[in-house]
A and B are shown apart, each in its own frame.
Chain A
Amino acid sequence: MGLDFTVIPKHIDIILLGCLWTIAITAAAALLSFFGGIFFAVIALYAPAVIRLPFRLFEWVFMGTPLLLQLFLIYFGLVQIGVDLPAFVAGVIGLGLHFAVYNSELIQTAILSVDKGQMEAARTVGLSRGQALRKVVVPQAVRAVIPPIGNNMIALLKDSALVSVIGVSELTLSAQRAIGATYRPFEFYILAAAFYYAINLGMEWVQRKIERRIALSR
């Protein structure tokens, strides 16, 4: 049996819907990983040990274990202690926190490399250390790591396929369903790949826009 791409139009709606879910979960998880990354970075650098050390443990768990396992734990494991999350929410939390930890590493380094004259200038006009961090140091650190954070977000998009295993009908799972109905794995996996690539391009476009917008303010 050769390739037959004419089967695609009949199932395109399920694939497109999968695309939307992939975009939604990626966008939500990206936001969580961005702000979570800032939050974790500030904790790692400035919080007292009683707060910092538990976060270190948490960070170790998220960096040192498979994302797949983390998703299982959040979706299936938490139910046992009474936290029954919808699959989409569990997926966003798993992906978002996982990548927040990676973003946090980048942001920590960036915070430490902001010129110390910046903190001094902010303190000199009367800002507290917290205010200076929030208004002066962290915004500069984040601007400095937009490109590598962008790379993390592309990785997040690709790893979003993993949430198919907890039943979120995103692009990969949708492709599998179409394949189940047609027995045409090559055609639908290729199609899904093309859509991932398109979303990837879209994300790069957004990243370039952001970089251009902040170019002057660096």
Chain B
Amino acid sequence: MTDHKEFVQIRHAQKSFGALEVLKDISLTVERGQIVAIIGPSGSGKSTLLRAINDLDPLTGGEVWLDGVQVNRSLPFRQYEKHINQMRQDIGMVFQHFNLFPHMTARENVTMAPKMLKGLSKDEADALAREQLDKVGMLERIDYYPSQLSGGQKQRVAIARALAMKPKLMLFDEATSALDPELVDEVNQVMKKLAEEHMTMIIVTHEMDFAASVCDRVLFMDQGVVVEEGPPEVVFKSPEKERTRAFLRKHLEGAR
């Protein structure tokens, strides 16, 4: 393992959907073990930026690097598919709506990809499922289907599924936004635990308190640009930019 200080690097990311420019020259560096929160109003491009990192929404300009390898390399189609499938194994992603596979139990959700892609034996896969589901506190529900789980439980299984590939980086896109308020905390606890284990994470969130408590750095995005970035104490308590202040003020009002 090389120790690139720039573990994740986004260089001049630009993204347009047709005529709509959603990301305008965004650059961002994340060090190994760092946790970065991205906040900003709806439609500001947070998800698009996150999804550019694992190439779910390919950039129209700029580069994404992970641990010294360019994710969005330009390669002929077949080679690119191989390359990106390999890269994605290192990048876990957690979605707002969980996207668990409904036809698989928690165990199968966790082990399907490792079995297919890493050729785990049945015993190895079983041990992996227990390890990962235990980590998110879902070991007792190992043979439950998603339809039998609450939202918070589903999200924890989804995190276990991502962790099972032993990713170097975890991306969270509003992992708790779809949850009933009383279920938010159990998911936040799991994310905190990952933070304590020094997992590198990029977290898109609307929860300022949570962001303040776990993140090393906060990015405020608006209309496709990073307006302000810095440690949470600064961005949340004494932001420099008027746009940041306005957003936080509005957000506080909304929360009340």
A binds B: yes
Docked Cα-Cα span, A65 to B208, in Å, equals: 64
Q: Kindly supply a per-residue 1/0 record for chain B positions 27-58, scoring 1 wherever the CB is within 8 Å of any chain A CB and 0 otherwise.
A: 00000000000000000000000000010100
CB distance from B255 to the nearest CB of A (A): 27
B113 within 8 Å of A (CB atoms): yes
A181 within 8 Å of B (CB atoms): no
A13 within 8 Å of B (CB atoms): no
A109 within 8 Å of B (CB atoms): no
Q: Find the A residue at minimum CB distance from B112.
A: A135
Docked Cα-Cα span, A218 to B145, in Å, equals: 9
Q: Interface stretch among B94-102, B124-132, B133-141, B210-218?
A: B94-102
CB distance from B156 to the nearest CB of A (A): 15
Contact A121 B101 (CB under 8 A): yes
Docked Cα-Cα span, A126 to B86, in Å, equals: 6
CB distance from B120 to the nearest CB of A (A): 13
Contact B102 A217 (CB under 8 A): yes
How many B residues touch A, CB cutoff 8 Å?
29
Residues of A within 8 A of B162 (CB): 124-125
B104 within 8 Å of A (CB atoms): yes
B11 within 8 Å of A (CB atoms): no
B206 within 8 Å of A (CB atoms): no
CB distance from B54 to the nearest CB of A (A): 6
A203 within 8 Å of B (CB atoms): no
Docked Cα-Cα span, A11 to B97, in Å, equals: 63
Residues of A within 8 A of B158 (CB): 121
Could you tell me which residues of chain B, from 107 to 153, have a CB within 8 Å of some CB in chain A?
112-113, 116-117, 145, 147-148
Which applies to chain A's interface (DSSP): helix, strand, loop or mixed?
A: helix
Docked Cα-Cα span, A120 to B56, in Å, equals: 7
Could you tell me which residues of chain A, from 133 to 151, have a CB within 8 Å of some CB in chain B?
135-136, 139-140, 143
A216 within 8 Å of B (CB atoms): yes
Contact A118 B99 (CB under 8 A): yes
Contact A127 B116 (CB under 8 A): yes
A123 within 8 Å of B (CB atoms): yes
Residues of B within 8 A of A125 (CB): 88-89, 92, 112-113, 117, 161-162, 165
B85 within 8 Å of A (CB atoms): yes
A128 within 8 Å of B (CB atoms): yes
Contact A217 B95 (CB under 8 A): no
Q: Find the B residue at minimum CB distance from A218.
A: B102
CB distance from B51 to the nearest CB of A (A): 9
With A120-B95, A126-B117 known as contacts, the answer to whether A140 contacts B102 (CB < 8 A) is: yes
Residues of B within 8 A of A117 (CB): 95, 97, 99
Contact A216 B88 (CB under 8 A): no
Contact A123 B102 (CB under 8 A): no
A182 within 8 Å of B (CB atoms): no
> Which residue, B81, B86, B103, B161, has most C-beta atoms of chain A within 10 A?
B103
B64 within 8 Å of A (CB atoms): no
Docked Cα-Cα span, A125 to B103, in Å, equals: 17
Could you tell me which residues of chain B, from 142 to 193, have a CB within 8 Å of some CB in chain A?
145, 147-148, 158, 161-162, 165
Contact of B85 among A128, A143, A214, A217 (CB under 8 A): A128
Residues of A within 8 A of B117 (CB): 125-127
Contact A135 B116 (CB under 8 A): yes
Residues of B within 8 A of A113 (CB): none
CB distance from B95 to the nearest CB of A (A): 6
Contact of B147 among A121, A126, A128, A217 (CB under 8 A): A217
Contact A126 B88 (CB under 8 A): yes
Residues of B within 8 A of A136 (CB): 101
* A-B contacts besides A117-B99, A120-B95, 13 pairs, CB < 8 Å: A121-B99, A121-B100, A124-B91, A125-B112, A125-B117, A125-B161, A126-B88, A128-B81, A128-B85, A131-B116, A136-B101, A139-B103, A140-B102
- A–B Cβ pairs within 8 angstroms, 8 of them: A117-B97, A118-B101, A124-B54, A126-B88, A126-B113, A127-B116, A135-B112, A140-B103
Binding site for B on A (CB under 8 A): 115, 117-118, 120-129, 131, 135-136, 139-140, 143, 214, 216-218
